[in-house]
With several copies, the nearest count.
Chain A
């Protein structure tokens, strides 16, 4: 099985701080690393705009350190590898974003992220911080059935919320509006992911899950959490067909709808493969009468060097299209008009 046990690191205990230091040294024009290990914008957002804050386990780069910047997030609170930051650190992140016209804490739905965010918000309340709201984001249709969407976990499709909410907050929208927008994008987004090979946990060096040489798994979470289907390797076209069907049914996406498409590389898939996959996605959407507004192919949120991809669709209207096309300038996510 193709697990890369070699990693170019120093002491495994220092991965996160060394990564943050090297990252901040590379992009001083965009971000700043604070003494308490937060990634914040080099040029803070004016105080009359809502600040966007997100915490997450590390190991998913470019997410989320690379998504801090104009048109995107204001503060990222990087946790340990695959572990959400604790409440104390989240609270520090919220304070670093203040004073803006309120803080919206975005939470990718995983047990750890949610529990720590809840604890942090209680501490914020105890300290009398005002105008702090939380929005829980999820998209993965394999993790809970239709009708129980709030139980679903957050995966690559959060891309759409990050991008559109980031643009929306720059317009000066207020906290309630920002939260509503995030929910709107979330509720129109669906994702299904698959893996060809696992990755090694950077600290333990062990494979995060097992897959046979001719096996794939569909419905993986972003830490190798089990999916809904484990089976034989298929062609690119068959893989797409197998994944797109359940996605279309779930929302459901219908003829006449307009969508943004994301094919997210979970690590070591190639853009060559993503392009071949996208060919089939575009063909099938065309056959279903669904129009593509924009597609992005790339590694936007990874699970180390795991090879696989997530297929996400977001149904868009005029408002969302505008926000999607707006410029953004994170270190690792840039959009040009």
Chain B
């Protein structure tokens, strides 16, 4: 891993590595993620997200002459079209949104991280209309974006910023256990969904943790 990369900007090589690491992490926890989805949803989330991210990692690896923006946007398209469904569209929107924010490349990497999460979150909410508290991936993404913003503002490194975001996502994902759902298949369960952690939010936490582990190793 290039040491330089993580310290200044989100570059091409690093972007591809992040996506590959995310793919590996969700694949390793695929069955657990599906199991989370099985009580309140249709039990396929782990399968969906693992397949989508593997597809994304592949297509990213196949790009020739890419920019960081192109890497993340390619991942977004791959996720959207490989599995489809609500989660394919929304996780795809997250990557695409995050990629768009990389147009401006003269920022320190920590600010890039914060911007990527904010833009990704905005894209997810634009499509999915979910608010924090609705028991969706937004409950992991929104606190992650907020934590990243704060960390970058405090002048922390990119690696530290991602770590803070990942930790916030983990707490956010766990908080969904106490919520009832207002989106996705779980919404029809009403109160019966309480007690189960949201699968999509958990995936977000797994993905950001993989990024943080990678950044730590690199930074």
Contact = CB atoms under 8 A, between A and B. Distances in A.
A and B touch in the complex (CB under 8 A): yes
Interface in A52-101: 57, 79-89
A112 B89 contact: yes
B42 A224 contact: yes
Contact of B89 (A86, A221, A227): A86
Nearest to A208: B42
Given A86-B80, A221-B185, A226-B192, A203 B86 contact: no
Contact of B47 (A115, A119, A204, A224): A204
Given A203-B44, A206-B38, A83 B83 contact: yes
A88 B189 CA distance: 31
Question: Which of B84, B86, B93 has the largest number of chain A CB atoms within 10 A?
Answer: B84
B23 to A, nearest CB: 15
A8 B79 CA distance: 28
A170 interface: no
Interface in A172-215: 201, 203-204, 206, 208
Nearest to B34: A204
Contacts of B188: 143, 221, 225-227
A116 B84 contact: yes
Interface string A229-267: 000000000000000000000000000000000000000
A85 B86 CA distance: 9
Contacts, number: 100
A336 interface: no
A112 B92 CA distance: 12
Contact of B81 (A87, A221, A224): A87
Contacts of B43: 201, 204, 206, 208
A273 B82 CA distance: 22
A188 B209 CA distance: 50
B185 A83 contact: no
Question: Which of B48, B80, B183 has the largest number of chain A CB atoms within 10 A?
Answer: B80
B85 A82 contact: yes
B128 A83 contact: no
B42 A223 contact: yes
Contacts of A204: 34, 38, 43-44, 47
A143 to B, nearest CB: 6
A13 to B, nearest CB: 8
Question: Which of B43, B48, B189 has the largest number of chain A CB atoms within 10 A?
Answer: B43
B127 A86 contact: no
A89 B128 contact: no
Contact of A79 (B38, B85, B184): B85
Nearest to A116: B89
Contacts of B92: 86
A83 B192 contact: no
Contacts of B185: 111, 221, 223, 225
B34 to A, nearest CB: 6
B144 interface: no
A114 B128 CA distance: 10
Contacts of B80: 86-88, 116, 119
Contact of B44 (A81, A86, A89, A143): A81
Contacts of A88: 77, 80-81
Contact of A83 (B85, B127, B184): B85
Contacts of B47: 203-204
Contacts of A81: 44
B90 interface: yes
A118 interface: yes
Interface in A101-122: 110-112, 115-116, 118-119
Contacts of B34: 204, 206
Interface in B19-76: 34, 38, 42-44, 47-48, 51
Contacts of A226: 188-190, 192
A86 B86 contact: no
B42 A112 contact: no
Contact of A80 (B83, B90, B189): B83
B127 A119 contact: yes
A203 B88 CA distance: 17
Question: Which of A83, A203, A224 has the largest number of chain B CB atoms within 10 A?
Answer: A83
Contacts of A225: 42, 185, 188-189
Contacts of A84: 84-86, 89
A183 B77 CA distance: 32
Given A13-B51, A83-B83, A223-B185, 11 more contacts: A80-B83, A81-B44, A82-B42, A86-B88, A89-B81, A203-B47, A206-B38, A208-B38, A224-B42, A225-B185, A226-B192
Closest 5 CB pairs of A and B: A83-B85, A86-B81, A112-B86, A86-B80, A88-B81
Interface of B: 34, 38, 42-44, 47-48, 51, 77, 80-90, 92-93, 127-128, 183-185, 188-190, 192
5 contacts: A13-B51, A80-B84, A112-B88, A116-B88, A226-B190
